[in-house]
Amino acid sequence: MLQQLGIKEVNPAYSTGLNWGGQNNKHVREIYSPADGNLIASVHMATAEDYDNVIATAEQAFKVWRKVPAPKRGEIVRQIGNKLRENKEALGKLVSYEMGKILQEGLGEVQEMIDICDFAVGLSRQLQGSTLHSERPSHRMYDQYHPLGVVGVISAFNFPVAVWSWNAMLAAVCGDVTVWKPSEKTPLTAIACQHIIREVLAANELPEGIFSVIIGDAEIGSKMAHDTRVPLVSATGSTRMGKKVGEAVGARLGKSLLELGGNNAIIMTEHADIEMALRAVVFGAVGTCGQRCTSTRRLIIHDSIYNEVRDRLLKIYPNLPIGNPLNAGTLVGPLIDKHAVDMFLNALESVQKEGGKLLVGGDILSGEGYETGTYVTPAIVEAENHYHMVQEETFAPILYLIKYSGSVENAIEIQNGVKQGLSSSIFSTNMLETEAFVSHWGSDCGIANVNIGTSGAEIGGAFGGEKDTGGGRESGSDAWRIYMRRQTNTINFSRELPLAQGIEFKI
Ligand code: NAD
């Protein structure tokens, strides 16, 4: 798996020889799999000097890339998509092994990369502006979109490769170059992607700086946020990180695209198809071990069906197959590390102090196959929406059950009553309820689904959320526009020079 992706297992230090530097680095980070605790590889952490070199290389590459016609840029992205197809199995396994999500989800993540490549190829012929009517005779106006330059991509550990591809492939067809700072928890999948990209660029005699990767921690991310050579910073991660990045980029009047934490809810009304809803709830709450930005954290249930839903969940949870994410049949893998386990335990302790009732789960598994201490049993807690812990995003498999009574408006109020605004969904077969949910006075989230859970978005739609989720949109629809600068052009094809608004100015 690692060899196919160009990664050698090297201990104690591993250098890709890529343009992020490496030779002069002092700091080495060891990467252990959360699945079995084994050391996978060690990576050099980039220095400030490496960072400057990477940005300088990217700036040079931009001068070449922006002159390549957009459909030809699309052709390069098409080739990247094909290389990803060839490497889907190996890269999917590495995602699973390094991050801990189950293999099906690892493969799904790579499929998402392939899908966004296809989307970007089509987009490369559709970066359209508008033609506009001028108020002046023999004048014509239009607006067009030009590339921005170096786009910085800061990504989170839980979608170690897909989120980068959403940004990088769109940015590439838009004529930008990207510098990617992956999560320091999952650098190997990023290095593997760089190997794939590198082959395609070399085969087309293009500079590698069109796509660069820099392995570093928050310090390198922060440099990017402050760097005026990076006109757009796309940052995915916690709200805490997003506030810092947004502030730094804003202070220099740069652009930021922020994809931050969620606190996603499913509403089950008295008209819900309970069978279908339960499947969505369980996938949303325990999939990726509760480590998706769109994971279902709150289940808002009508009081008429509350007991039935709770009891059925309590039958499902104890039987969830928890184990090595690479094993067929596993549905719940490990948390990313022991720190995440501590956060899970602290949240459960805290919510119980506030009055929450732990119904199931909340244990650390031990014994054969669970030696890493990163496997936990997903928890269900009866709670109230205003509890401090319910208001926060805990990046772990905790599902809060919240009861509501009366009309769907009461449920929507609870659903909207948090700081975050990423994903939301309603299960109901009543059209009056579902339409209310997606209306302008309904869900306040960037994603509002009907009879589908909160997680598992398709790449065709714009992805992102409101409020503390940061307001950014990436992936499909017209999300590409943020990677470009808009220019309005007025063309005079007469021999007169009339001024706008009829202003007379005779010399
Ligand atoms: P994190 O905030 O700890 O780290 C994310 C990235 O930001 C990492 O690359 C990290 O090195 C970098 N970083 C941290 N502090 C920084 C700073 N001050 N300046 C610049 N960069 C900095 O998040 P995580 O634990 O890796 O990921 C989990 C979080 O990400 C959750 O909150 C989850 O909801 C969120 N997330 C959101 C989306 C989305 O699309 N909305 C997608 C995936 C994950």
Pick the CATH number of 265-460 from 3.40.30.10, 2.40.50.140, 3.40.50.720, 3.40.309.10: 3.40.309.10
Query: Which of 236, 392, 454, when mutated, tests ligand 1's pocket best, judged by the most ligand atoms within 8 Å of its CB?
Result: 236
User: Distance from the CA of 238 to the center of ligand 1, in angstroms?
Assistant: 4
Query: Which of 95, 154, 219, when mutated, tests ligand 1's pocket best, judged by the most ligand atoms within 8 Å of its CB?
Result: 154
User: Where are the domains positioned within the chain?
Assistant: 2-260+470-488, 265-460
Grade residue 22 by pLDDT with cuts at 50, 70 and 90.
very low
User: Distance from the CA of 84 to the center of ligand 1, in angstroms?
Assistant: 25
Kindly state the DSSP code that residue 46 receives in the 8-state scheme. Answer: P
- Atom number of ligand 1 nearest to Cα 216: 11
Pocket of ligand 1 (CB under 6 A): 154-159, 163, 181, 183-184, 217-218, 221-222, 225, 236-238, 241, 244-245, 259-262, 293, 393, 395, 422, 469
- Atom number of ligand 1 nearest to Cα 294: 34
For residue 262, count other CB atoms closer than 10 A to its CB: 29
**Rounded to two decimals, what is the model's pTM?**
0.95
User: Distance from the CA of 470 to the center of ligand 1, in angstroms?
Assistant: 12
C-alpha distances out from residue 199 to 131, 205, 207, Å? 39, 10, 11
Q: Which residues pair with 180 in a beta bridge?
A: 153, 213
Grade residue 16 by pLDDT with cuts at 50, 70 and 90.
very low
Contact (CB, 8 A) for 348 and 379: yes
- Atom number of ligand 1 nearest to Cα 182: 9
> For position 333, what pLDDT does the model report?
98
Q: In this structure, which amino acid lies at residue 97? A: Y
How many alpha carbons lie under 13 Å from residue 8 in its C-beta half-sphere?
A: 8
Q: What angle do CA 477, 285, 91 make, to 5 degrees?
A: 60
User: Distance from the CA of 490 to the center of ligand 1, in angstroms?
Assistant: 42
Q: What angle do CA 470, 164, 478 make, to 5 degrees?
A: 60
Higher pLDDT, 197 or 3: 197
Which residue CA neighbors atom 42 of ligand 1 most closely? 293
Higher pLDDT, 3 or 469: 469
User: Distance from the CA of 143 to the center of ligand 1, in angstroms?
Assistant: 35
User: E strands, 157-223, where?
Assistant: 177-181, 211-213
Grade residue 2 by pLDDT with cuts at 50, 70 and 90.
low
Query: Which of 159, 163, 189, 238, when mutated, tests ligand 1's pocket best, judged by the most ligand atoms within 8 Å of its CB?
Result: 238
pLDDT digits (tens, 9 = 90+) for 314-372: 999 999 999 999 999 999 999 999 999 999 999 999 999 999 999 999 999 999 999 99
> For position 21, what pLDDT does the model report?
38
pLDDT digits (tens, 9 = 90+) for 268-299: 999 999 999 999 999 999 999 999 999 999 99
Catalytic residues: 259
Q: What is the mean pLDDT of the chain?
A: 95
Least confident of 17-26, 352-361, 441-450: 17-26
Measure the CA–CA gap between 301 and 380, rounded to whole angstroms.
14
3-state helix, strand, coil in the chain (%, to 5): 40, 20, 40
Q: Is the pLDDT of residue 485 over 80?
A: yes
Grade residue 499 by pLDDT with cuts at 50, 70 and 90.
very high
Measure the CA–CA gap between 113 and 132, rounded to whole angstroms.
36
User: Distance from the CA of 294 to the center of ligand 1, in angstroms?
Assistant: 14
Kindly state the DSSP code that residue 209 receives in the 8-state scheme. Answer: G
pLDDT digits (tens, 9 = 90+) for 148-169: 999 999 999 999 999 999 999 9
Distance of CA 443 to the CA centre of its chain: 21
- Atom number of ligand 1 nearest to Cα 185: 26
Pick the CATH number of 2-260+470-488 from 3.40.605.10, 3.40.50.1110, 3.30.479.30, 3.30.1120.130: 3.40.605.10
Q: Is the pLDDT of residue 11 over 50?
A: no
Which residue CA neighbors atom 28 of ligand 1 most closely? 237
User: E strands, 7-73, where?
Assistant: 28-32, 39-44
Grade residue 18 by pLDDT with cuts at 50, 70 and 90.
very low
Kindly state the DSSP code that residue 454 receives in the 8-state scheme. Answer: S
Higher pLDDT, 208 or 145: 145
Which residue CA neighbors atom 12 of ligand 1 most closely? 218
pLDDT digits (tens, 9 = 90+) for 109-121: 999 999 999 999 9
> For position 6, what pLDDT does the model report?
63
Kindly state the DSSP code that residue 45 receives in the 8-state scheme. Answer: P
pLDDT digits (tens, 9 = 90+) for 372-413: 999 999 999 999 999 999 999 999 999 999 999 999 999 999
